[in-house]
Amino acid sequence: MSFYQSIYKLLARPLRAIFRVQVVGSENLPQERGCILCANHTSLLDVLIISAGLNRQVRYMAKKELFKIPLLGPLITALGAYPINRGGADVTSIRKTIRLVEEGQLVGIFPQGTRCPGVDPRKTPVKHGAGMLAYHTKCDVVPVYIKTKNNKARFFRKTELLVGDVLSYESLNFEKGGIQEYKAATEKIFAAVCALDGKAVEDTEQA
């Protein structure tokens, strides 16, 4: 049993209880092949919620500063995270992400690029990284929506983890690649993420 499997076995159930996680559509998550998982981003807790709710390890890119913190750095490394320099193009991290997907692993990406608590995700801009990685890996993309009241994660507040139908590489309509195609593909992916919750706008307006 790997270190991650040991931690998952120990903490997944308590975390699901603490965040009252309800998973819908878990059958849509491929169990073997490499894929990119894209989700909305409201809190640092999102990583815990997704990891505890799904039965596959998700590999995340994390800002490099976290790996310099004593105890935390070695822990998140052991759990499968790896660093990225968010200040510019980090070719090493991008290549590692592509390699992980090609090896059959599940890589988690937040297309918004930053946390957007309390905001309807459909009103937030997205970066182009998810589309770029999908283009280079030629892999499928799994849309996931983290639904919480007012788009804010809280302990003991109901959290729905909605897993959508896989978006095939072909459906992203790539031709020659490039920033514009990457951005268009990311916008399509994130639209599929947001479409998993048809009441996002109404919920936000009523908050």
DSSP states of 55-66: SS-EEEEEEGGG
Looking at the predicted structure, is the pLDDT value of residue 114 above 70?
yes
Distance CA 140, CA 101 (A): 10
Q: What is the CATH number of domain 15-59+105-206?
A: 3.40.1130.10
Give the per-residue pLDDT at 87.
58
DSSP class of residue 166 equals P
Q: Which two tokens stand for residue 207?
A: 């908050």
Helix (H, G, I), strand (E, B) or coil at 15: helix
Give the per-residue pLDDT at 85.
74
Nearest to residue 61, comparing CAs of 106, 5, 103, 109?
109
pLDDT band, very low/low/confident/very high, at 35 (cuts 50, 70, 90): very high
Helices 129-137, 91-102: axis angle to 10 degrees equals 50
Q: Is 118 left (phi over 0), alpha (psi -120 to 50) or beta?
A: left
**pLDDT tens, residue by residue, 52-106:** 999 999 998 877 887 888 887 887 887 788 887 765 567 888 889 889 999 999 9
DSSP class of residue 116 equals -
For the chain, the structural domain boundaries read 15-59+105-206
Distance CA 196, CA 144 (A): 8
Check if the beta carbon of residue 97 is closer than 8 Å to that of residue 133.
Answer: yes
Distance CA 94, CA 150 (A): 33
Give me the sign of the Cα torsion angle 56, 142, 63, 133.
positive
Give the per-residue pLDDT at 204.
36
